[in-house]
A and B are shown apart, each in its own frame.
Chain A
Amino acid sequence: MSFSDVSHKEELLVRVEDVAQVADRVKRFRLVPVDSERLPAFSGGAHVTVMMDNDERRIRNPYSLMSSPACTHAYEISVLRVEESRGGSHYMHTRVSPGTELWITPPGNLFPVHQLARKHILLAGGIGITPFMAMTAQLSTLRHRFELHYAMRTEASGAYGKVLKERYGDRVRLYRTSLGERIPLTDLLEDQPLGTHLYVCGPERMIDSVLESGRLAGWPEENLHCERFLPPPGGDPFVVRLARSELDVHVGEHESILEAVEAAGVNPPYLCRGGVCGQCETRVLSRDGVLDHNDHYLTAEERDAGQQLMICMSRFRGRELTLDL
């Protein structure tokens, strides 16, 4: 690789110490290091990518670290069981138990706390609570001013409502959407002190509506932060030519270019696997067809120019695509 290869530098071997069913479809996994006392330090909002070796392929899914950054003896992640799983959530729920060993990447943080903020407003929807578990621990230790608004379908589906209420009292508000309770977004955006930062993690629709409401209330982009947990969208299969590796790789209906390329033994750098961070940006050498940009990284101009592709999320429709890999 011509640039620093963040993703493959040093994967870590961890052992699952504990698995807990914390809500209807949510399991929490406690991961401890196998070869050392401690795991690398991280900050609130960080994630690791977990490798899962399925019978036919290796699945890599990013999960937010939800344990306190003050503790590096173990990491904790939570996994929601989804019906239309591409394999990862199903694997974690059915094949991982105490004693299982897993390879993970060191933590990377694309959703950090803004250290200079005067106040932090955290908005979580469902499993989107996980990065805020670590963030609230960090903010509370630093004695930063914060409030957390946590929307869940029912009390039983909200994995961490109770423990958060116990830890932070009035700073935490819970909303059960099945009872018609909603985060009062419009009110929240009024009369906040200058230097307030807003963070949102949850379903795509919630993220988009929060960001849009923030903009409409005159908040600068610099104060609005989000983390998206989007699996790569599927689509018609296609073939991609890797110029440097001299390989033709078939990209299936339910896999991303990145996954297909990895399965073929080529390891481009990556970090978020969700089209946000820019690590996997790849040069398009030639194409006869249409690029479907599904990322949040490239600018509108870059998309139109069609010379770069975020291979973790984006797809191709057409006759021929050659990438600089």
Chain B
Amino acid sequence: MADGVPVSSTLPPSTIKSRPRYQGLQAVPTARHNLVAADGEGVRPVLRMLSGAPPGFAGRTHVLYAGSETSAAEDLDRLHSLGTAQVDVLPTSDDLIRALDGLLSTASMGTRLYAAGTEGFIGRVLTIAIGHGIDHKSVLTEHSGSRARRVQCVHCKRITEDVTVSIFECAGCGVLLFVRDHYSRRLAAFQGVCANAEDPSQRPVPEEAYP
């Protein structure tokens, strides 16, 4: 929007072609209704968007927030004070995704969707959106918080959330996984492949890669 608020992202410029671009949250002033999903630190860009939005925008906005009510108490108070139509705090992102799924199933065109938070969370919101016929390019997204990755083990298909290291042991099949720089939009996850297939005696040392 023309309010000149700089859009920040904590992700470094991506050289990974398959990784979605998170363009930053921007209010769509013409939207009839706004659904905003945020986890953890994602509440910050939501606040920034709402405080810079045109009059009346917050009153058409329903925020779903996954995180602890106590740690984000101040931010949640501000959400209310900005005139947000509804703020729901869900204990986990699983609960949030379920609630969002329900809301989208009765939503109509003119409703715009926004997602802010970790990459894994944004990816899950996008997957749900696509399931309701929303084009992923029309969802406004902003990365905020940890750079942790959501990883699918290509061997046993188990999804591991919040992976911050380059190499880890899959809790599903015990294989030592190397996290590849390839993102699957369908799975909303990066790919983990066996790190020592040639020589199982090798145990590469994990590095803190995605803090």
Near A by CB (< 8 A), chain B positions 9-66 give: 28, 30-33
Near A by CB (< 8 A), chain B positions 74-114 give: 104, 107-112
Q: Are A218 and B30 in contact (CB under 8 A)?
A: yes
**Cα-based distance from A189 to B138 in the complex (angstroms):** 17
Q: Are A195 and B110 in contact (CB under 8 A)?
A: no
Please encode chain A, from 287 to 313, with 1 for each CB lying within 8 Å of some chain B CB and 0 for all others.
000000000000000000000000000
Give which listed residue, A116, A118, A221, contacts B138 with CB less than 8 A: A221
Closest residue on chain B to residue A114 by CB atoms? B135
Please encode chain A, from 174 to 205, with 1 for each CB lying within 8 Å of some chain B CB and 0 for all others.
00000000000000011111111000000000
A interface, how many residues as a size bin?
A: 20 to 34
Asked if B137 is at the interface (CB within 8 A of a chain A CB), the reply is yes
Near B by CB (< 8 A), chain A positions 198-248 give: 215-223
Q: Known contacts being A217-B110, A218-B109, A218-B110, is A194 close to B30, with CB within 8 Å?
A: no
Q: Are B109 and A196 in contact (CB under 8 A)?
A: yes
Asked if B180 is at the interface (CB within 8 A of a chain A CB), the reply is no
Q: Which B residues touch A192, using CB under 8 A?
A: 108-109
Closest residue on chain B to residue A116 by CB atoms? B133
Main secondary structure of the interface of A (DSSP, over half): loop
Q: Are A195 and B30 in contact (CB under 8 A)?
A: no
Please encode chain A, from 86 to 109, with 1 for each CB lying within 8 Å of some chain B CB and 0 for all others.
000000000000000000000000
Q: Are B135 and A194 in contact (CB under 8 A)?
A: no
Closest residue on chain B to residue A217 by CB atoms? B110
Q: Are B138 and A194 in contact (CB under 8 A)?
A: no
Asked if A117 is at the interface (CB within 8 A of a chain B CB), the reply is yes
CB distance from A145 to the nearest CB of B (A): 11
Q: Known contacts being A189-B110, A216-B30, is A195 close to B138, with CB within 8 Å?
A: no
**Cα-based distance from A222 to B133 in the complex (angstroms):** 11
**Cα-based distance from A190 to B32 in the complex (angstroms):** 10
**Cα-based distance from A196 to B107 in the complex (angstroms):** 12
Asked if B182 is at the interface (CB within 8 A of a chain A CB), the reply is no
Asked if B132 is at the interface (CB within 8 A of a chain A CB), the reply is yes
Q: Known contacts being A220-B135, A221-B138, A222-B137, is A194 close to B108, with CB within 8 Å?
A: yes
Closest residue on chain B to residue A222 by CB atoms? B135
CB distance from B10 to the nearest CB of A (A): 26
Q: Are A217 and B138 in contact (CB under 8 A)?
A: no
**Cα-based distance from A71 to B10 in the complex (angstroms):** 53
CB distance from A190 to the nearest CB of B (A): 8
Q: Known contacts being A189-B109, A217-B109, is A195 close to B134, with CB within 8 Å?
A: yes
CB distance from B99 to the nearest CB of A (A): 16
Closest residue on chain A to residue B34 by CB atoms? A218
**Cα-based distance from A117 to B30 in the complex (angstroms):** 22
- A residues bordering B, Cβ < 8 Å? 116-118, 189-196, 215-223
Known: A194-B104, A194-B109, A220-B135; 15 extra A-B contacts, CB below 8 A, are: A116-B135, A118-B133, A190-B108, A192-B108, A194-B108, A194-B134, A195-B132, A195-B133, A217-B109, A218-B30, A218-B31, A218-B109, A218-B111, A222-B135, A222-B137
- Can you list 5 residue pairs at the A/B interface with Cβ under 8 Å? A196-B109, A217-B110, A218-B112, A221-B138, A222-B135
Top 5 A-B residue pairs of the complex, sorted by shortest distance between their CB atoms: A195-B133, A220-B138, A222-B135, A218-B110, A218-B31
